[in-house]
Amino acid sequence: MTATKLLSRTLRSAATRVPRMARPSSSGPPPPEGHSTSVGQSPLLRTSRDSALKTPGISWLDHDESSGSGIVSGRETRKMNTYQAIRDAMNNALERDDTAVVFGEDVAFGGVFRCTMGLAEEFGNDRVFNTPLTEQGIAGFGIGLAAMGHTAIAEIQFSDYIFPAFDQIVNEAAKYRYRSGNQFNVGKLTIRSPTMSVGHGGLYHSQSPEGFFMGAAGLKIVIPRSPIQAKGLLLASINDPNPVIFLEPKILYRSAVEQVPIDAYTLPLSKAETLIKGSDLTVLTYGTPIYTAQSAISLLANPPPQLESLIPESLRKASIELIDLRTILPWDVETVVESVNRTRRLLILHEAGKIGGVGAEIASVVTERCFLRLEAPVRRVTGWDTPVPLVYEKFYIPDVIRMVDAMAETLTY
């Protein structure tokens, strides 16, 4: 048995022992959106005003070069979690655009995750309103509104239930501009939906369906990792001249907290962000797994006493680059390829299953463009190719131990 295989097997065995102290203790049921302590403590979150206002790529919607209003010295931030930042983005959109409307199941009551709390009272029931329980109808209604020039912000209550709307999204929204020869479009349509696991959602409330839309030319797919990203990317999606599916990781609604700029701003779509610079391995992911990846990188560099004997010193010194893809379609090929050409290794992490997942497309493109530079096969760490199990959901979702295992194998290939 090779040293790498022994390390891999031992790490998996140790996984049942190491995280015991991290297991949550609670006297009641977990919150519906889930909670992750590791997310809340992540150094990737911008928890000060200065760091928030220095977010890369931030563009102020009230920026006027002639008046100098684009400077950050007079701007303020407020502590928000992800759902509050998403609500703030929709509030900004409704204030700035009289044609903007927000609709979906229970949104007038605040929605399941409270993302639309108070919007109906502030802007009226003709601009923020409930719909019947029909995802196909919600998508079709949004397409019609956008085709008539309105800014349509639709909510599918869970991304697990977006499939009844698949025909409307893929065959109508994605193709509307093309079929009309660019005479008409539904670029003012944004479809929001909670996505990814919560730890106890099972087969109907913890799915990650982004891969199903990868072949739908004409759509954009965006998944944020934090409150600052959620607000900026959502406003960019609403303002983008193409229909956008905006998927919001549920466990980040309350777990991720940052100082978020109060003024309206956007962040660039189809532009990945390098969160940690490195030279030996590129780790590419998006959404909630960003924090799994960051924790795994930290554990590899500074293993706890239980794992010190299993991780060689040479691996602890590895320089690992972490990239947040942010926009899944169309994704930032240039940033990823440039990184892999430098590090010569790529590991892709996502919660969705491996077969037909986002990682499959990225691995194919990177192999085509970087083949002669690669020193190891492109590695994918994903959910298993089964329905998301209920009782065993924590074993389905890629965790820190699986990531450390994969990074070790890739670095020592």
Q: What residues are labeled active site? A: 135, 205
Strand intervals (E) in 145-256 = 152-155, 189-195, 220-222, 244-249
Cα atoms found within 13 Å of the Cα of residue 264, Cβ hemisphere only: 18
Which residues sit opposite 346 in a β-bridge? 282
Name every residue whose Cβ is closer than 8 Å to that of residue 105 and which is 6 or more positions away in sequence: 130, 131, 132, 133, 138, 155, 157
- In degrees and rounded to multiples of 5, residue 344 shows phi and psi of 70, 10
- In degrees and rounded to multiples of 5, residue 93 shows phi and psi of -65, -40
In the numeric block, which tokens belong to residue 130? Answer: 């409930």
DSSP assignments along 340-402, one per residue: HHHH--EEEEEEEESTT-HHHHHHHHHHHHHTTT-SS--EEEEE-SSPPPSTTHHHHS--HHH
Strand, coil or helix: 245? strand
Q: Is the peptide bond before 330 cis (omega within 30 degrees of 0)?
A: yes
Strands, sheet with 320-324, edge to edge from the N-terminal-most edge strand: 273-276, 320-324, 281-285, 346-353, 379-383
d(CA 353, CA 386): 7
**Angle, CA 408 vertex, CA 405 and CA 409 arms, to 5°:** 85
- In degrees and rounded to multiples of 5, residue 346 shows phi and psi of -140, 135
